[in-house]
A and B are shown apart, each in its own frame.
Chain A
Amino acid sequence: MKSILRIYIPFFPIIITTGGLIILQAMLQLELPKFMAQIINEGIVKQNQSVIYETGILMLLLSFLVATIAITVSFLASNISAKGAARLRASIFSKVSSFDSGEMELFTTASLITRATNDVLQVQNASLMILRMGFFAPAMGIGALIMAIRTSHDLTWTIVITLVSLLFFVFLSVALSMPKFRMLQKLMDRINLIISERLKGMLVIRAFLREKREEERFEEANKALMNTNLFVNRLMSLMMPVMSLIMSYGSVLIVYAGSKLIDVNKLAVGDMMAFIQYATHVVMSFLFLTMFFIMLPRAMVSAQRINEVLKMDLMITDLPEPEQNHLPLDTKGEVRFEKASFRYPDAEENVLSNISFKASPNTFTAIVGGTGSGKSTLVNLLPRFHDLTGGKILIDGVDIKTLSRNYLRDLISFVPQKNLLMKGTVLSNVTYTATSIDSHKLEEAITISQSKEFVDQKAEGVESPINQGGTNVSGGQRQRLSIARALYKDAPIYIFDDSFSALDFQTEAALREAFIKAKKGKTVFVVAQRISTVKNANQIIVLDEGKISGIGTHKELLKTCSVYRELVSSQLEGEGGEADGRS
């Protein structure tokens, strides 16, 4: 919890002020029944009109004061909760921005999104609740109890009885309903799962005539959901009447016991009525507190989840004084892997072991291998998305660990495996992070990436809007724009991490040709599935279970490397991983 609390520290003075005001508000509010008692005791019973007026005016003034304080409290509380949430959100965002691939994989993207959105909302709501109720309910409850005892300590036992019976009932219902509530969530998940499976498997279900069976499967889950829901809802529908019954019976008890006291002149009529009000306040604050403690654990879970992100130690850090000045701006881009190996923390085996090779400027280095052979990991080591656990990677002879990551990444044009576009326009995506727009470079990037045809077809050209995630362009177009983005950046080193999978062969060939023609002198890494992509590379690195099983050209490897031969024969140079636009 420490990291979260630290975010709220600057608010402590206002929080204390707010808390103080809330307690004051509660105290003043508790004075109101006293005035009422006075109106009845002194004014009505003793038939004194002026007491009624005077007390009435005092009462109005007091309630005006209460309202003013309450509004001030609302102002302060909304300030704290909104500002606190904004700070919380900002610190998660900054923290995640400082993450590299290791941390992202550890948490998973989906979970980080939930933490930064829903969990923050939970904490924000809770903070508001803590501020408003956390101060108010205890102050009110304790205050009302004191006032009640002061009004008539002979009647205090009635409050105790009411509270104890309420407490018993609330605990009973919570104990009964909690497991069912948890079950409800699971049943809801099951409904979700079945429906999404059915949507994904629509063709298969219909082709195999399994409609009836799927309906039955759903109905079964649906029935279980209904039955649990019925139980929970019915229990809940019992709760309110029973609680109000207990409270009403409490007031009857007070009247009965009170009248006996009045009979022996130990209590005034107005005081009895005030006492009923105080008792109601005590019970209500108690109920609020119970709710508070039922809701709080949920917020605590959210807070915990946020905290995990905030306190995460970064796996990769820059040296205190990175060596970026020692590397000349005109980096040649010669890359050397020297006995590089990588292992995930807590993993038993290396993902990559003992990788050594050299990639010179003006050459293509292709990396091939089966699934899980470590191809993608290998190229992800170069921009330090992961840090090596053994060996070295050198650029122009300088160990990349001595460079700052920002500087290092400026040297690399990277096309990731997933084609991730951002909300904006074609232009804003291609020129991502560029400080100024060079129309010549833009044209070149769009042409080489083979995006020109479809960009020109759009009415607004490069100003055409792109949805979040690029959902309004096809998979192939997304990939081409993602390539264009890297081309526009134009660093000495290029990495294509399986970046041609959504392109057909002709497009890919044209792209490769245009690239070679326009981008001379670059050091290029290409991770690929298809042999046709890598056939013409200057060197092909064949990975098998994280180790190099062969380096050479296509022809050499066909002769020397059995893993490569197997790969070639299994593919028969067919087209791989097609994404049919319609299915």
Chain B
Amino acid sequence: MSRLSNKKTSLCTAEPLSDDKVCQKLAVFRQIFTSCFGPTGRLKQIHNNVGGHVQTTSTSAVLLKGVFTSHPVLKLLTASVLNHISCFSDCGLFAAILSCALIENAQRLNIETGITLKVYRHLLCLCKDYLNQEECGCRVRIDFGNSQSLLSLARSVIASKPACMLTYKEVQHVSSLVVQAFLQTVPCEAEGSVCLGKVVFVSVEGHRAMDSALFPGLLVEMPEMLSASDLKWLDHRAITLALFNTSLSGDLSETGDGTLEVSCGLSPEAAVLELLLRMGKQIISDGVALLACQKVVHPVLKQYLKEHHVIVIERLGISLMEPLSQMTEIGALPIASFQSPVPSKCYGQLSNILVKSFGSRQMLNLIPAGDSTVCSLGLCNRNETTLNELKLTCQNAEHVLRLSLKSPFALFGGGCTETHLAAYIRNKCSSGVDGTLLGPGCSPTQFQMAADSFCRALESVGRSLEHDGGESLVDLRCGHRWSGPGGAAPDVPWKDVVSLCGCGRLDRHEGLQWVILGGKGPSFSPTLPAESCAQHLVLDSFPAKLNALQVAVETANLILDLKYVIQDVN
């Protein structure tokens, strides 16, 4: 009680954005994100000054969780980006950079904030409508008959995470593994509602990423007592599996709230063990060849089963239970009772059990019978940090591929979507806007200024991909982003120094014209590039980017709309 004290009055600051310190913090924040963006982004090392774990990363999720944000405005920004990532796993940096850019640009304008907000909101709607249109010029339909576009999607996610430290070849290898794993999780016959399978990630450090491999079924730790010779007893047509989710340790459990009194010389444990062995006897007579248990198995039972050539896998953990039951042919049900006889319909079937050496580890590979939607992706990388980053990246890539099932589109990556959208909006706005749309108090000039700040923010995201002093260009037909060398001689035509656009869809031989991105160029209506046979497109997830765009604009609007910051200082 003595430590209770009166609550202090909250700290109340008016117009937080008018404070230079806040703007400075925001600029630093933006600088961090911008420098991480894209395949050539710079890495960040996160550590605290009292020692402990050091993380090297350029991923927005890790970065945002690791960075301590002092100011409420930054907290708000962080929270909204993290929320986006938790739903979509991708485009976090895009959202953060765009949001910061929108705020900074809006502040430089000499317009009342309310008007800027209205214009931003209006333009967001324009963008959304355009992206959802059939004739949208920066969107491609994903062809599920061909793995090319899926591969591109996965590759863009993996290649844009430089902290994985992968070579070009390794990127290719890992992205093809992720796509294979994803395809494996989609069931073959699709009727009614489809339930996707699961990819289980297993990671081993100290090996090259090229050693990563995909395994059918599940990879589990090799049980201690098991040797390769034990597998020779297996019937290789069908292996019956019994899956337990209750503890088989033989402890007296669930005795209720009351007290238990045991008469002298009586051993309840022995009684329970007898039940366990009775169950063991039953499953042996049922022809079970593999007993898998989520928790611990009593050593006596283990020994007993081993003598009868039943393989025992214990301490499976809750995360592997669902995939294991999913991959057995009829669907093994986790059994929760050893006290009563096990019904035969709980057993599942596997086709084989193999010992695989993966990296430096010996692992047991449970191979499903027939078609299964469960597979294990074994990932290797040189050290712990890069491995962690790779694992996270692959999970994100897999999620992005899953999202593509819902809306089968992809957007051009490499900054092309951003510049294209900016060009589209500039063109749309130059033809004038319906004044009544924005209500009174908004003059056409103000509208133009705010729209310009919106477009510049979009373009600045595209420009952020450039880290090595290069110049960002935009072509005047499709509005894609090109990167040219910085400080090129003014008399050399752009055509001679550029090769491919950011997403790889266009090349320089198509009779295009270029201007510097963000400079004064003529307004034009960007078009969809003609179908090309370009192999290595850079594609971004459509749902993730669309949501990131919305989140970025909405968050920027919120921050711009702030009149007060009230801080509880207790």
Q: Do A and B interact?
A: no
Give B residues with C-beta under 8 Å from A.
Answer: none
Name A residues whose Cβ lies closer than 8 Å to a Cβ of B: none
